[in-house]
């Protein structure tokens, strides 16, 4: 089994809508280890609802790693955050670098779950002009991108990367989200697949199995190891291997309009 780096999961206890206790965190990590994950970036929400801060994230990450050593679970937890787009502009500029994915230069930015979003491109471009690199969290589940995919395309052209949720590829969030995610892959708009796990059962930490089920096995290493390693190290993103996505519901391509 190839090793997997999970760049987006809610694994820290009692800090957001992930595990309530460290025992539940350990159970989640144990399930991830069984699925081939060897590194998990803890990305608790940093939002108005969950105003988490870097020192708390770092402390809980250290405590969980120590518990995993005691339990002899061979998974490393690294600190990070899932920063709500609506909160990003209000975070202190001294705090923001400490919320990077695995302590690196990339920020995981969460678009809102609303059909209309104003200023998303302004937020992303503003952060990029400040020297940050942007990884968009589960854009396939953002209704605004469904309404206007060209906004998503333009952000990727401007240098943003995307991280989609493994469950989206197999219909866990609706058939519409699945089609959108697969069309993103077909247009080479997907750079990473993460679990966005919240627990071991309802929102589990699997990634590789979902990629295989979706017919994307040949991209597994690139999506779950090569790109994540580059993001964590701040190195250039390696090019995607040559790959033709299996035929998807092309009769439904109207859900993925092109702008001319």
What is the residue-level pLDDT of the chain in tens, covering all 260 positions? Answer: 568 999 999 999 999 999 999 999 999 999 999 999 999 999 999 999 999 999 999 999 999 999 999 999 999 999 999 999 999 989 998 999 999 999 999 999 999 887 776 788 899 999 999 999 999 999 999 999 999 999 999 999 999 999 999 999 999 999 999 999 999 999 999 999 999 999 999 999 999 999 999 999 999 999 999 999 999 999 999 999 998 877 665 434 444 554 43
Say if 145 falls within a structural domain: yes
Identify the three-state secondary structure at position 241.
coil
pLDDT at residue 248, rounded to an integer: 61
CATH of the domain at 93: 3.20.20.140
| pTM across the whole model | 0.94
- Are the C-beta atoms of residues 250 and 182 closer than 8 Å to each other? no
First to last CA, the chain: 44
Say if 89 falls within a structural domain: yes
Strand order in the sheet with 76-79: 4-9, 37-42, 76-79
pLDDT at residue 2, rounded to an integer: 65
**Other beta carbons within 10 Å of 107:** 26
Count of structural domains, the chain? 1
Q: How far apart are CA 104 and CA 229, in angstroms?
A: 11
Token look-up 């209309």 returns 116
Domain that holds residue 217: 4-234+244-255
Q: If we measure between CA atoms, which residue out of 169, 245, 248 comes closest to residue 211? A: 169
Say if 239 falls within a structural domain: no
Point out which residues pair with 46 in neighbouring strands. 51, 83
Q: How far apart are CA 157 and CA 53, in angstroms?
A: 31
pLDDT at residue 245, rounded to an integer: 77
Q: How far apart are CA 150 and CA 155, in angstroms?
A: 9
Contacts of 8 (CB under 8 A, 6+ apart): 41, 43, 82, 108, 137, 138, 163, 165, 194, 195, 196
CA dihedral (103, 45, 4, 231) positive or negative: negative
Q: How far apart are CA 29 and CA 193, in angstroms?
A: 17
pLDDT at residue 253, rounded to an integer: 45
Say if 150 falls within a structural domain: yes
Say if 260 falls within a structural domain: no
């Amino acid at each position: 089994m190839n090793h997997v780096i999970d760049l987006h999961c809610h694994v820290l206890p009692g800090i957001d809508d992930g595990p309530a206790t460290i025992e539940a965190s350990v159970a989640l990590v144990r399930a991830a280890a069984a699925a081939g994950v060897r590194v998990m970036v803890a990305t608790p929400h940093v939002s108005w609802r969950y105003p988490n801060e870097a020192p708390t994230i770092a402390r809980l990450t250290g405590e969980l790693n120590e518990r995993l050593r005691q339990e002899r679970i061979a998974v490393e937890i690294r600190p990070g955050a899932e920063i709500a787009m609506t909160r990003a502009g209000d975070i202190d500029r001294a705090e923001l670098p400490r919320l990077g994915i695995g302590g690196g230069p990339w920020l995981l930015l969460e678009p809102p779950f609303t059909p209309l979003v104003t200023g998303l491109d302004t937020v992303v471009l503003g952060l990029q002009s400040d020297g940050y690199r942007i990884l968009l969290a589960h854009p396939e589940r953002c209704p605004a991108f469904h309404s206007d995919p060209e906004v998503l395309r333009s952000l990727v052209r401007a240098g943003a990367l995307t991280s989609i949720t493994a469950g989206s590829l197999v219909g866990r969030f609706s058939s519409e989200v699945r089609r959108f995610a697969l069309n993103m892959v077909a247009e080479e708009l997907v750079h990473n697949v993460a679990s966005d796990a919240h627990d071991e059962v309802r929102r589990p930490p699997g990634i590789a199995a979902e990629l295989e089920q979706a017919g994307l096995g040949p991209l597994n290493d690139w999506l779950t190891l090569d790109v994540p390693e580059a993001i964590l190290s701040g190195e250039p993103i390696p090019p995607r291997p040559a790959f033709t996505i299996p035929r998807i519901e092309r009769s439904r391509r109207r859900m993925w309009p092109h702008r001319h």
